[in-house]
Each structure stands twice: as structure tokens, then as C-alpha cells.
Amino acid sequence: MRAAELFRSRFGGTPDGVWLAPGRANLMGEHTDYNDGYVLPFALGQAVTAAAARRAERQLTLCSRQEPAAAVQIALDGLAPGQVTGWAAYPAGVAWALEAAGHPVPGACIAIDSDLPAGAGLSSSAALECATALALTELAQTELAQTELTLTELALPQSAGLTVPRRELAAIARRAENEFVGVPSGIMDQSASLLSQAGHALLLDCRSLETSQVPFAPAAAGASLLLINTRAKHDLSDGEYGQRRAECEEAARRLGIPSLRSLTTPAEVDRLADPVLRRRARHVVTDNQRVLDVVALLSTPHPPPGQHGPVDVYRDIGRLLTESHASLRDDFEISWPEADATVEAALAAGAFGARMMGGGFGGSVLALMPAAGAGQVRQAVTTAFARHAWTEPEFLDAVPSQSARRLTSLV
């Protein structure tokens, strides 16, 4: 509840509510979301929290424990892309995108706290967007409830002011990031933060936007999942991410298909004469298949003891993780030295498998190992970093957790 404390110290008074939105890890399917493909993320226990209260003025006042500078003031009337920069562009963009979608946004004071390391590829930005989106839509709901007017009298759409469906909130948060902040990301991170269930990974088909919950509890099978923040910071707005996206679109155009999702076998990419585009397309088609393979493994009923059992399932998933890393490193060319060294050290120390995660060029590695071997993997990675004289890596738990929610009742 440090966000509520921050609210009290910066704004005085008590917040109307506190909302939490988790960061995400991604088990499989990288750079597949904007290619209409499959992804398999899950929500983390680490999250952004937002303590918020309505205010009479048409203004947002934002402060963050991680950004010690003065609070940021944003006028809601006339808000447009380009007006707000830095971290506050994410919540401001959500207010803008909500209003653009016809949802009323009240003036509010919002105090933000986070235990998600920024730039670690764990979607702290999407978590900030989703926490703000939930806070603003629920505050709007109480504001409407306090007026004498009904929704019909206000001539608002049925969903306005009432809880906005989460899929729609995910699309709104993504629009904020794409059009207000200017980062051309896909729909995976916001979907993971808003639609995940504890103990499950979220299978999302980014073409139909259909989702299903895939039971995912490595600890129960004697396996351990570790996130390793390599401390090489990534930034999706640095151009490399957008370049990969453009290359994928160009590959689809040359193949005469609506998106790389239409590819079903790696052999089909051989029709591309350009070797770079061929490699990019091969990564996408093979990673899509790996998502389906992981889902099939997780969906296999556990056989009787002594046969191919739960730990073997995680060994197989580990192998797919490592294959995905090779594809991201060699075909998509977005890995970075700290990630390659982490994967190598983890495998040498007995991990089932490991891969870089997220947009690339920095951030975190996801490693899967027998629970009893987790200490050895940490040690091996720490030693590898020391040998290169890199800043010590950070190890984080990766527990498939519940999606975004309100933590306190509305007053």
C-alpha cells in the first residue's frame, strides 16, 4: 500500500481506491503479436499500483515514487498526442484513448508506485497503462453513480462509465502506447496484464483475439522458473523494434499474404529472395509453432508415475525455450551479449532451457530448471557476469499471477 501512503503525503487526504496491474513474462511467442500470431504470456506478482481520487477540475495530477520530480499536471480538455512526454505520457495517453473511445474520464489525482524494474522487459509501461485505465474507468463509474442522471439521459454508450470490458481496455491501453506515446508495440502486454489468471498462462490468438487459460504451475511439478534481469536496459522507442516490425510487414507484402501468421511451414519462407526478410519470417513462423507446441505439452494429462511425467513436460518446454532463443538471436537478431551469456551459463548449470524475453536488445531472460537446481543456475549466471565485469544480474520470481484489479473498496 505504498501508493496510498504516497498519495497521502503528496496530495493529502485519502485516495478513493487503489488499483494494481501486473507486469508480464512471456513463456513463448516473441514478436509474433503484431504479426497476428500466437503468444503465451502470464501475469507476474510484481506490479504497478495506482492510488487515485476524483477531483472537480478537468485535470490529471500524477506523481510517482520512482520519479521524484514534482507532480505532473495534465489538462484533460484538448489533450492530444505530443503534449506530454516522459513517464506521464503513458497515463495521459490512457485518458486520451479512453475519451476517444467514448468513455468519460474524470479529473483525478493519481499516485503511482511499482516494484517492476523499468527497462527490464517486464512491461512496466503496460502495467502503468492498465492500472491507470482501471482507476479512471472505475472512478468515472462512481462519479456517474453520484449524479441523478441515468446513462440514457446522458446519451452515453451502455458501457460508458460502467466497467469497460477488459479486452476493450487492453485495446485502449495499446492505442495510448501506439498513438500517444508513439511506440509501435503489439497487444500482448496489455492483454497479459488485464486477462491473466493465477496459475495459468494466457494463450492469445492475436488475429482473432480469442484467449484461453492454459494451466501452468511449474512449481507443482518440481520445476522452477526464474527471471533474470540482465540490467542491459531496453527501450521500445529506440527504432530497432519498429524496424523489425516494418521488416515483417515487408516480408508479408512480398509473399502476398495479409500477415506472417498466414505462413504455416518454415519452408514457405524460402520464396523470399531477401535473406534478411527470410530470416525474420522464419523466426515468426517457427515461434508461432513453438507456442502451440508448449500449449500441447501443458495440456497433456499427466501420466502415471514412472512414465513420461510432469518434469519431462518441463524438460521439453525448456528445449523449446532454448530453440526460441536461437531463433531470436540468429534469425530475428535482437538478442544482446548479456542475454546470450545468461542462456549459455544457465544451460551449462543444468537448466532445462532459457531464452531472452520481450522486445529485445536488453531486458530479461526466462529460464526453466529443476527446482533443486535453481541455486546452481543463479550461481553460474552471477559468475559469468562477474567474469565479463558486467553489473550483477537481478533474479526475480516468475509466479503466474492474477490480472489487474482494485485492491481497496471505493469510498
Euclidean distance between CA atoms 406 and 370, whole angstroms: 35
Q: How far is the CB of 244 from ligand GLA (least distance, A)?
A: 9
Q: How far is the CB of 358 from ligand GLA (least distance, A)?
A: 5
Is position 31 an interface residue for ligand GLA (rule: CB under 6 A)? yes
Is position 36 an interface residue for ligand GLA (rule: CB under 6 A)? no
Q: How far is the CB of 240 from ligand GLA (least distance, A)?
A: 11
CB 227 within 8 A of CB 45: no
Is position 30 an interface residue for ligand GLA (rule: CB under 6 A)? yes
User: Strand 364-370 relative to strand 223-229: parallel, antiparallel, unpaired?
Assistant: antiparallel
CA distances from 31 to 41, 48, 49, 247, 390 (A): 12, 24, 27, 12, 27
CB 109 within 8 A of CB 8: no
Euclidean distance between CA atoms 310 and 82, whole angstroms: 51
Rule CB under 6 A: choose which of 113, 189, 331, 338 binds ligand GLA. 189
Q: How far is the CB of 251 from ligand GLA (least distance, A)?
A: 16
30/113 with CB nearer ligand GLA: 30
190/322 with CB nearer ligand GLA: 190
Q: How far is the CB of 236 from ligand GLA (least distance, A)?
A: 6
Is position 363 an interface residue for ligand GLA (rule: CB under 6 A)? no
Is position 34 an interface residue for ligand GLA (rule: CB under 6 A)? yes
25/164 with CB nearer ligand GLA: 25
CB 331 within 8 A of CB 280: yes
The residue annotated as part of the active site, out of 33, 36, 113, 189, is 189
CA distances from 251 to 51, 254, 290, 311, 402 (A): 45, 5, 20, 39, 37
Dihedral of alpha carbons 65, 66, 69, 74, sign: negative
Query: Which residues in the 135-154 window bind ligand GLA by CB under 6 A?
Result: none
Q: How far is the CB of 307 from ligand GLA (least distance, A)?
A: 35
What's the grid cell of residue 81? 498526442
186/318 with CB nearer ligand GLA: 186
11/34 with CB nearer ligand GLA: 34
107/359 with CB nearer ligand GLA: 359
Binding track over 247-286 against ligand GLA, x by CB under 6 A: ----------------------------------------
The site that binds ligand GLA (CB under 6 A) totals a number of residues, namely 12
User: Phi/psi of residue 358, each to 5°?
Assistant: 90, -155
Is position 186 an interface residue for ligand GLA (rule: CB under 6 A)? yes
Is position 33 an interface residue for ligand GLA (rule: CB under 6 A)? yes
189 as an active site residue: the answer is: yes
Q: How far is the CB of 292 from ligand GLA (least distance, A)?
A: 16
Is position 188 an interface residue for ligand GLA (rule: CB under 6 A)? yes
Euclidean distance between CA atoms 322 and 110, whole angstroms: 41
Is position 185 an interface residue for ligand GLA (rule: CB under 6 A)? yes
Q: Which stretch binds ligand GLA (CB under 6 A): 48-56, 146-154, 181-189, 222-230?
A: 181-189
Rule CB under 6 A: choose which of 23, 359, 362, 393 binds ligand GLA. 359
Catalytic residues: 189
Binding positions for ligand GLA, rule: CB under 6 A:
30-31, 33-34, 123, 185-186, 188-189, 236, 358-359
